[in-house]
Amino acid sequence: MTGITRFTTGFPVTIYESGDHGLIGSSGSAYIDQPDYNGQPITFMNPRANASQQYFSTDQFSAMPLGGTGTANRRFFAGPGFNNWDLGLHKSTRITETKSVDFRAEFFNIFNHTQFTGVQSDFNNPAVFGDVTSARAPRIGQMALTFNF
């Protein structure tokens, strides 16, 4: 039996405002166009537990002033973390002195734990701002039976 277990934080979430609100002539520049952040703590939610799949509260953000700069940091929190368990089983059975049968089974994400990615961070898309819209691969398994002679 072999296994790999991985617990990590998610990738950084870049909060930005699409469009050219900074009036610099560059639409959707994530380096300039950030919304305003009011400084209140951001509430993080479990996307599995609510129907909207929202990951963070969005009430703390407002539109940046036209021609100015927003106060939100580019990446001040991480997205949903990963909790992944991989498992492998291998059994070799000798039939005679020169013949054997090998059985292998490998499972990736064996507990089928949903691992969210793709946190939507465009302030000007309020329908999905703060939501997770994709996930990594579900449980994958493979098995093999080999006859050696």
* Whole-number Å distance between alpha carbons of 123 and 20: 13
Mean pLDDT across 9-22: 83
pLDDT digits (tens, 9 = 90+) for 58-93: 889 988 888 877 888 878 888 888 889 999 999 999
pTM of the entire predicted model:
0.70
Which is more confident, 11 or 103? 103
Q: What is the amino acid identity at position 121? A: S
**CA-CA-CA-CA dihedral for 42, 45, 51, 53, to nearest 10:** 80
Alpha carbon of residue 45 to chain centroid? 14
Mean pLDDT across 112-131: 88
